[in-house]
């Protein structure tokens, strides 16, 4: 054999030996790495799927609810959905559209904001062993006519809702929306 052929042959052997040793030494590490990646993916995937399904459901529900509001003569431009409740506003009519799903039966109501002079966020709570427990979150609308009673928009009620999520944030947002609609 010539020297060039021997060098090429020996380089080729060295490369083959390196690859086979690499495979033997690292096959276990690669297997462990793949198992780890698979386990993490299997653990995290349900959270992403749940969020995607929730967002998709929320968009579908929002579209359906806007249709129901439109059927009642309202054009909802801003809305929020939480738990089984929906709130939206038609600024042209100065109306609030509320919908609550009770045992798969929808109950809706409308509130004419022109009949009210103030809106205030109310939080009912109690202290239990040095912990503040929230029993209710709602907006209290005071009517212009003193003979009419106050109107409550419930965002959370401990008797009917299982737990608090983002109800406080939604209630604060809608307090601002309603106040700006009442006092232009």
Q: For residue 50, what are its two tokens? A: 């749940």
pLDDT at residue 116, as a whole number: 92
Q: Tell me: the pLDDT tens digits for 32-68?
A: 777 878 888 888 888 777 777 767 666 777 777 777 7
pLDDT at residue 18, as a whole number: 59
pLDDT at residue 117, as a whole number: 92
The number of beta carbons lying within 10 Å of the beta carbon of residue 132 is 9
- What does the alpha-carbon distance between residue 7 and residue 109 come to, in Å, rounded to a whole number? 88
pLDDT at residue 14, as a whole number: 62
Tell whether the model's pLDDT for residue 21 goes beyond 70: no
Tell whether the model's pLDDT for residue 142 goes beyond 90: yes
Contact yes or no for 73/146 (Cβ under 8 A)? no
- What does the alpha-carbon distance between residue 143 and residue 119 come to, in Å, rounded to a whole number? 9
Q: Tell me: the pLDDT tens digits for 86-105?
A: 888 888 888 898 888 655 66
pLDDT above 90: percentage of residues in the chain: 18
pLDDT higher at 21 or 144: 144
Looking at domain 77-182, its CATH architecture is Roll (2.30)
Average pLDDT score, the chain: 79
The number of beta carbons lying within 10 Å of the beta carbon of residue 111 is 19
Inter-CA distances, 93 with 73, 76, 117, 161, Å: 9, 10, 16, 31
pLDDT at residue 57, as a whole number: 66
pLDDT at residue 104, as a whole number: 63
Question: The whole model's pTM is what?
Answer: 0.66
Instruction: Give the rounded distance of the alpha carbon of 98 from its chain centre.
Output: 18
pLDDT at residue 119, as a whole number: 92
- What does the alpha-carbon distance between residue 36 and residue 171 come to, in Å, rounded to a whole number? 43
Element (H, E) at 56: helix 3-71
- What does the alpha-carbon distance between residue 91 and residue 142 come to, in Å, rounded to a whole number? 19
Match 């380089």 to its residue by tokens.
11
Tell whether the model's pLDDT for residue 8 goes beyond 60: no
Measured in degrees and rounded to the nearest 5, phi and psi for residue 123 equal -125, 120
Match 């690292």 to its residue by tokens.
26
pLDDT at residue 66, as a whole number: 74
Where are the chain's structural domains? 1-71, 77-182
DSSP 8-class letter at 148: S
Closest to 83 (Cα-Cα) out of 11, 163, 27 = 163
């Amino acid at each position: 054999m010539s020297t060039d052929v021997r060098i090429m042959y020996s380089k080729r052997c060295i490369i083959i030996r390196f690859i086979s040793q690499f495979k033997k030494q690292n096959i276990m590490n690669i297997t462990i790495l793949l198992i780890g990646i698979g386990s993490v993916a299997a653990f995290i995937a349900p959270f992403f799927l749940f969020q995607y399904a929730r967002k998709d459901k929320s968009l579908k529900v929002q579209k359906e609810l806007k249709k129901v509001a439109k059927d009642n003569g309202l054009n909802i431009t801003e809305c929020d959905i939480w738990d089984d409740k929906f709130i939206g506003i038609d600024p042209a009519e100065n109306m609030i559209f509320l919908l609550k799903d009770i045992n798969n039966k929808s109950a809706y109501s409308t509130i004419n904001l022109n009949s009210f002079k103030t809106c205030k966020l109310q939080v009912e709570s109690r202290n239990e062993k040095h912990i503040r427990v929230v029993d209710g979150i709602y907006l209290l609308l005071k009517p212009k006519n003193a003979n009419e009673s106050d109107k409550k928009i419930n965002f959370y009620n401990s008797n009917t809702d299982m737990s608090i999520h983002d109800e406080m944030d939604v209630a604060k947002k809608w307090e601002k929306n309603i106040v700006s609609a009442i006092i232009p």
